[in-house]
């Protein structure tokens, strides 16, 4: 029986992968950290090159957020290394994070190969410090990713987890609430009354409340 693709809220499956920095055990080697695992269609391709540079330029910001990056494509280590050399020599950027060399087994297990394609789509897995999949993004080959959005999502997850709140659209620049966060709806009549009386919370109604952190 074929194993199903891990979904949001499920544990990331345990696996050993070969990377440009040696073998990694997933998700165990990243326990206690957030992990962004992302696939790209292929080495030595223009859009993927711009994506790796974008990730590397934001790598210090990801690290400040206790987040590591891990790339993947159905290419082997020697190809990854040569491509990293090309990016360093021609674009002036040293790629510091590892890249998985996949035969296709990892990509199929994680749902990175769609339809009849032999290459991966541009997938992004967000894995939390406990090894739980928190979000999954998919992009087609012709569309490069928005890396500021990936950073925003990591920040939002961490704020949400720490404060037990939710985020409005485009947080922290929501059109209605600005950088306020959403207070989870009350689950009882008494809680709804308390919510409306709480001066630290602003409510449009008992179910529509927000606050500043």
Q: Where are the domains of the chain?
A: 15-163, 164-213
CA distances from 159 to 74, 80, 151 (A): 34, 35, 13
Place of tokens 């925003």: 152
pLDDT over threshold 80, residue 3? no
Sorted by sequence, the CB contacts under 8 Å of residue 198 that are 6+ apart come out as: none
**CATH number listed for the domain at residues 164-213:** 3.30.1020.10
CATH fold of the domain at 15-163: Glutaredoxin (3.40.30)
**pLDDT confidence band for 1 (50 / 70 / 90):** very low
Please identify every residue annotated as catalytic.
48
For the chain, give the percent of residues with pLDDT over 90.
84
Rg (CA), the chain: 20
User: What's the chain's length in residues?
Assistant: 213
The structure's pTM equals: 0.93
The pLDDT tens digits for 75-123 are 999 999 999 999 999 999 999 999 999 999 999 999 999 877 678 999 9
pLDDT over threshold 70, residue 2? no
């Amino acid at each position: 029986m074929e194993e199903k693709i891990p979904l949001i809220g499920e544990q990331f499956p345990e696996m050993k992968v070969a990377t440009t920095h040696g073998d990694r055990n997933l998700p165990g080697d990243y326990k206690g950290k957030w992990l962004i695992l992302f696939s790209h269609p292929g080495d030595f391709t223009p859009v993927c090159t711009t994506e790796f540079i974008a990730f590397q330029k934001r790598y210090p910001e990801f690290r400040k957020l206790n987040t590591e990056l891990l790339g993947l494509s159905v290419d082997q280590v020697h190809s990854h290394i040569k491509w990293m050399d090309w990016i360093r020599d021609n674009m002036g950027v040293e790629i510091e994070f590892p890249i998985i060399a996949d035969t296709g087994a990892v990509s199929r297990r994680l749902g990175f190969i769609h339809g009849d394609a032999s290459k991966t789509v541009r997938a992004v897995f967000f894995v939390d410090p406990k090894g739980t999949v928190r979000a999954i993004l998919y992009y087609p080959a012709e569309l490069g990713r928005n890396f500021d959005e990936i950073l925003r999502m990591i920040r939002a997850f961490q704020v949400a987890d720490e404060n037990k709140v939710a985020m409005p659209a485009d947080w922290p620049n929501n059109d209605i609430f600005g950088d306020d966060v959403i207070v989870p709806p009350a689950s009882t009549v008494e809680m709804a009354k308390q919510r409306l009386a709480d001066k630290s919370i602003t409510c449009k109604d008992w179910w529509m409340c927000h606050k500043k952190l």
